Amino acid sequence: MNFINKKLLAIFLTSASVFTVAAQESATGYFNDYYQTRWQMNPAIGNRNNYVGFPGLGNINIGVNGNLNPTDLIYSHGGKTVLFTNPNISAAEVLGNLDDINRLGESVNINIIQFGFKAFGGYNNVAINVRQNLGVDLPKSIFSLLKEGLSNKTYDISNLSLKAKAYAEIALNHSRDIKWVPGLRAGVSLKFLLPVAMAEANFNQLHLELAEDSWNVRSNAELRLGMKGLKYETSVNDRTGNRYVDGVNTDDLGFGIGGFGFGIDLGAVYDWKDFSFSLAFTDLGVVSYSDMQLASTNGTKEFRTDAHPIAIGDDSKSWDNMVDALSPLYELSDMGDSGSTSMGLEGKFRAGVDYRFPLYKKLHFGLMNTTNLSSIFPMTEFRLSANVEPVKGVAASVSAAAGTYGCNYGFLLSLGNKGFNFILGMDYANLKMDKNHIPLKSNVDFHMGINFPF
């Protein structure tokens, strides 16, 4: 058990909390007029100026989020920082901090090229982005097993899953005022998606029934990998003759297009007096990964100890037979190319209202609900923000949010107006940190952009 040392553990916890930022765009900046890429949250929102993004740095969004926080895994006891598996930490305390499904996700959205300009009777944006999502679901039963210990109970570790996908996106956006409805502005973005890689691992069923008269295990697992040229490597179990997957072969890996996808964003903004109402659906669409390589247990496999009596003095043959009978539970067969798999995009719904403070027009407040329709990370959040532009070229926003991942607050700072604009912000800035300033929450995000308005 020494394969995990303290350094690796620290890196894991640190990376889970620092390395990323929550959503793919800054929700805090939704009402900030200097946040150039708001159109990705609501395609009806245009910009005051034309702009060109710094290639590769025009819009960087990195985030980690989930309901499994480092503080769910580490505790302070007796002046020391200890793991949840420490014998001095009660099972009730640990399990009380966990949900039935504990999620940890990571998302990255990096803009390669983007620019915006006024034309065609409205405002237009063009962007090429690379997006990547990763999510892991850890059922509470795993922690229950580790913390409460093994006993003669039934452990259902189903819903243990990992999903990840990466694709490139070419987005074209256009928004304009709707003349026959004063105050209404509508927009649409069309996205052409070029899949890069996709992975999905699911324990559809992992059922441990540790009864006193027999231990029974049922397993149904599958792994799907989609990447151009990727194949599984297999070996043969010497004793059972079963050929199983023991790695991936990347010799023929290519960077070609592994499928196709299409998405659309729809949005509207309606200004009424000091209020501005907005509504948007983004990332509506599907992405299809071709050449999906499937490995699976080929259905549900079952093992029962009562079907394998142990004989004494048979040179361990019966024991070996039992071990052999266990192997189908975890040995995945290469099922070959399962064709293409289509996945919905991480669709989001946003509804917001902005109120411009009448006593100080540079100050306005916004309230927005973001609901993630994602299969990887379903979430909903209400965020209240205050936005101010005290002087030309300097704008800032602060926000407070409550939702699936608890309460947080965020900020976004915009420096520069024409010629240069720098954006830096976080939606989940409620950084509870250890004495080394290492964040202790898993909901962290980071947004940065360098653009050149003109």
Partner 1 sequence: MMQINRFSFGKGFISMVIALSLTGCVDDKYDLKDIDTTSRVTVNNLTVPVNLESIKLDNVIDMDDNENIKTLTDANGNKYYALQEDGDFSTSSFHIDAISVPAVPIAPLEYHVGLNLNTRSAFSGSVSMPSDLPMSEYHFNLNNIDPALISLKNIKAQNPITLEVKLSVNREFVSNGNQVTFKNVNFRLPWGLISDAKGYDKATGHLVIDELPVNNDGTAKFTFKATGLELGSRGQIKNHKLDISDQIGLTAAEIAFELNSMNVPGQIDINLDFDISSFIVNSFSGEIDYHMDNIDIDPISLSDLPDFLNSPDTKISIANPTIDVDVNNPVGGYGIEGRGYIKLTSDFNNGNTTTAQSDMFTIGTNGADLSFGPGATAGSHVEFNNLSNILLNGNVGGLPEKIYVNLVELQFVGEATDFPLGNDIENAKGKYTFDAPLAFGDGSIVVYEDTESGWSSDDLDKVYIEHIKLNAKCSTNLPVGISLKVIPVDKNGDQIPVKEDSSKFDVEPNSNNKEVSLTIEGANGPITNFDGVTFRAVITQNSGNTEAIGPDQYIELNDLRIAVDGYYETDF
Residue 15's nearest CA partner among 56, 87, 64 is 64
Rounded to the nearest whole angstrom, what is the least distance from the CB of residue 299 to partner 1 in the complex?
25
- What secondary structure, in 3-state letters, does 171-187 show? EEEEEEECCCCCCEEEE
Q: Which residue number, 45 or 429, has a Cβ lying nearer to partner 1?
A: 429
The dihedral built from the CA positions of residue 308, 334, 332 and 157, taken in this order, carries a sign that is: negative
Q: Which residue number, 241 or 313, has a Cβ lying nearer to partner 1?
A: 313
Cα angle value 142/146/148 (rounded, 5°): 105
Q: Which residue number, 48 or 432, has a Cβ lying nearer to partner 1?
A: 432
Rounded to the nearest whole angstrom, what is the least distance from the CB of residue 304 to partner 1 in the complex?
9
Rounded to the nearest whole angstrom, what is the least distance from the CB of residue 33 to partner 1 in the complex?
14
Q: Which residue number, 139 or 425, has a Cβ lying nearer to partner 1?
A: 425
Residue 171's nearest CA partner among 77, 263, 295, 100 is 263
Q: What is the DSSP letter of 311?
A: P
Q: Which residue number, 341 or 414, has a Cβ lying nearer to partner 1?
A: 414
Rounded to the nearest whole angstrom, what is the least distance from the CB of residue 315 to partner 1 in the complex?
10
Q: Which residue number, 68 or 396, has a Cβ lying nearer to partner 1?
A: 396
Q: How far is Cα 38 from Cα 58, in angstroms, rounded to an integer?
A: 13
Cα angle value 196/197/202 (rounded, 5°): 160
Q: Which residue number, 48 or 317, has a Cβ lying nearer to partner 1?
A: 317
CB count, 10 Å around CB of 433?
Answer: 12
- Torsion angle defined by CA atoms of residues 4, 136, 167 and 345, in that order, rounded to the nearest 10 degrees: -170
Report H helices in 3-73.
6-18, 70-73
Rounded to the nearest whole angstrom, what is the least distance from the CB of residue 314 to partner 1 in the complex?
7
Rounded to the nearest whole angstrom, what is the least distance from the CB of residue 246 to partner 1 in the complex?
23
Rounded to the nearest whole angstrom, what is the least distance from the CB of residue 308 to partner 1 in the complex?
7
Rounded to the nearest whole angstrom, what is the least distance from the CB of residue 377 to partner 1 in the complex?
24
Q: Which residue number, 130 or 440, has a Cβ lying nearer to partner 1?
A: 440
Q: Which residue number, 222 or 445, has a Cβ lying nearer to partner 1?
A: 445
Q: How far is Cα 329 from Cα 338, in angstroms, rounded to an integer?
A: 21
Rounded to the nearest whole angstrom, what is the least distance from the CB of residue 144 to partner 1 in the complex?
12
Q: Which residue number, 215 or 382, has a Cβ lying nearer to partner 1?
A: 215
Q: Is 360 exposed, middle or buried (0-12, 13-18, 19+ CB in 10 A)?
A: exposed
3-state secondary structure of 147: helix
Structure-token pair, residue 407: 């309460």
Residue 133's nearest CA partner among 102, 165, 168, 169 is 165
Rounded to the nearest whole angstrom, what is the least distance from the CB of residue 46 to partner 1 in the complex?
24
Q: Is 122 exposed, middle or buried (0-12, 13-18, 19+ CB in 10 A)?
A: middle
Q: Which residue number, 233 or 314, has a Cβ lying nearer to partner 1?
A: 314
Phi-psi label, residue 416: left if phi above 0, alpha if psi -120 to 50, beta otherwise: left
CB count, 10 Å around CB of 239?
Answer: 11
Q: How far is Cα 31 from Cα 84, in angstroms, rounded to an integer?
A: 40
What residue has token string 């490139």? 168
Cα angle value 32/452/277 (rounded, 5°): 25
Rounded to the nearest whole angstrom, what is the least distance from the CB of residue 310 to partner 1 in the complex?
5
